[in-house]
Amino acid sequence: MKSQKTPRLRTIVAYLVLILLSFLCLFFFYILIINATRSHADLQKGFSALPGGYLLENLKNVANDGSFPMFKGIVNSLIVSISTAALCTYFSSLTAYGLYAYNFKGKKIAFTFIMAILVMPTQVTAMGFLRLITNMGMYDSLLPLIIPSIASPAVFYFMYSYLQSSLPLSLVEAARIDGSGEFMTFNRIVLPIMKPAIAVQAIFTFVGAWNNYFVPALVIQSKDKMTVPILIATLRGADYMNFDMGKIYTMIMVAIVPIIIVYLFLSKYIIAGITLGGVKE
């Protein structure tokens, strides 16, 4: 009797913990949405758990603000984030496959070099990066936010680890015997196997590029090329007399919508990762 109660008690405790964690995660989104529906005057009065009736007005205020190109900023962020996610996941997977499937001199040195770059913070190379893109004529453009994503040591290491656990080399050798070219083998055999890992990293890369503030603030000067984080920062730093908290909360709410859509679209591939994988040797 005692042994039957113990698993049931553990299940109840597990569900309570999960409910608590879900509440803590969703509570802040709820507060954000509530604040986006309130006016600046209402927000000054303090916290409220009930929604207001100013959401449409806040959206109009943000959209009609001539000094704040909201929709252009969202488009810029989408271009940067989607391009970054696509380039980063593809070329990181390709690099990981090259180091995993081939034996060559300097393989260990190449792997160690990539891992060494992983621990190097972005701020250390910021000034050199800024001087480089200025000399290349790419200052104040979106290209410096996209092109460097081709080389991502963190994503490479994740993909390399996934290949070690999911891709048997016998599968690659069989494709070669059948006359498949190296890029065809990678694109038609390896990539489908890596789909769960690519989906996970695509989400993280998209969110990282969408929320990136440091590099865009360093590179972008024109308002029509600014991304969402920079625009929100400029809105937050507005003149105190024209400062509107309702507009800020509304813009933040609009800014997280693409992230939620991307997660909902790719989350099924993460769950499918439990069953997807390589052929067992």
Q: Express each pLDDT in 191-241 by its tens digit.
A: 988 888 888 888 889 989 998 888 898 899 888 888 988 887 776 655 555
Q: How many domains does the chain have?
A: 1
pLDDT at 180 exceeding the cut of 80: yes
The per-residue pLDDT for 281 is: 42
pLDDT at 92 exceeding the cut of 90: yes
Least reliable range by pLDDT among 96-100, 150-154, 188-192, 259-263: 259-263
pLDDT at 91 exceeding the cut of 90: yes
Is there a domain that residue 149 lies in? Answer: yes
In percent, the amount of the chain with pLDDT more than 90 equals 15
Is there a domain that residue 36 lies in? Answer: no
Could you tell me the pLDDT band of residue 258, with boundaries at 50, 70 and 90?
A: confident
For residues 36 and 56, give the distance between their C-alpha atoms in angstroms, rounded to a whole number. Answer: 9
For residues 149 and 205, give the distance between their C-alpha atoms in angstroms, rounded to a whole number. Answer: 9
For residues 23 and 18, give the distance between their C-alpha atoms in angstroms, rounded to a whole number. Answer: 8
Q: Are 219 and 140 in contact (CB under 8 A)?
A: yes
Burial-class residue 150 by CB neighbours within 10 Å (0-12, 13-18, 19+). middle
Average pLDDT over residues 129-140: 88
- Location of structure tokens 């090259």: 98
The per-residue pLDDT for 89 is: 94
Is there a domain that residue 252 lies in? Answer: yes
- Structural domain boundaries, residue 182: 55-276
Average pLDDT over residues 50-56: 83
- Location of structure tokens 């190097």: 120
Average pLDDT over residues 66-86: 86
Is there a domain that residue 12 lies in? Answer: no
Is there a domain that residue 211 lies in? Answer: yes
The per-residue pLDDT for 276 is: 47
pTM score: 0.80
- Encode pLDDT of 110-121 as tens digits: 989 988 888 887
- Encode pLDDT of 3-38 as tens digits: 556 778 888 888 999 999 988 888 888 888 898 888
Is there a domain that residue 77 lies in? Answer: yes
CA dihedral 76, 81, 83, 86 (to 10 degrees): -160
Could you tell me the pLDDT band of residue 277, with boundaries at 50, 70 and 90?
A: very low
Could you tell me the pLDDT band of residue 278, with boundaries at 50, 70 and 90?
A: very low
* Domain CATH number, residue 212: 1.10.3720.10
Is there a domain that residue 8 lies in? Answer: no
The per-residue pLDDT for 280 is: 42
Is there a domain that residue 235 lies in? Answer: yes
